[in-house]
A and B are shown apart, each in its own frame.
Chain A
Amino acid sequence: GQNIDQPTEMTATEGAIVQINCTYQTSGFNGLFWYQQHAGEAPTFLSYNVLDGLEEKGRFSSFLSRSKGYSYLLLKELQMKDSASYLCAFNTGGFKTIFGAGTRLFVKA
Chain B
Amino acid sequence: DGGITQSPKYLFRKEGQNVTLSCEQNLNHDAMYWYRQDPGQGLRLIYYSQIVNDFQKGDIAEGYSVSREKKESFPLTVTSAQKNPTAFYLCASSIGLAGADGELFFGEGSRLTVL
Interface residues of A (CB under 8 A from B): 4, 8, 30-31, 33, 35, 40-45, 48, 87, 89-102
Place the interface of chain B in its size category: 20 to 34
Main secondary structure of the interface of A (DSSP, over half): strand
Establish whether residues A93 and B103, one from each chain, have CB atoms under 8 Å apart when the complex forms: no
Task: List chain A residues, Cβ under 8 A from B27.
Answer: none
Mind listing 17 A-B residue pairs with CB under 8 Å? A33-B99, A35-B103, A42-B90, A42-B108, A43-B43, A43-B106, A89-B43, A91-B100, A94-B99, A95-B33, A95-B56, A95-B98, A97-B99, A97-B104, A99-B35, A99-B42, A101-B41
Is the C-beta of B25 less than 8 angstroms from some C-beta in chain A? no
Establish whether residues A97 and B40, one from each chain, have CB atoms under 8 Å apart when the complex forms: no
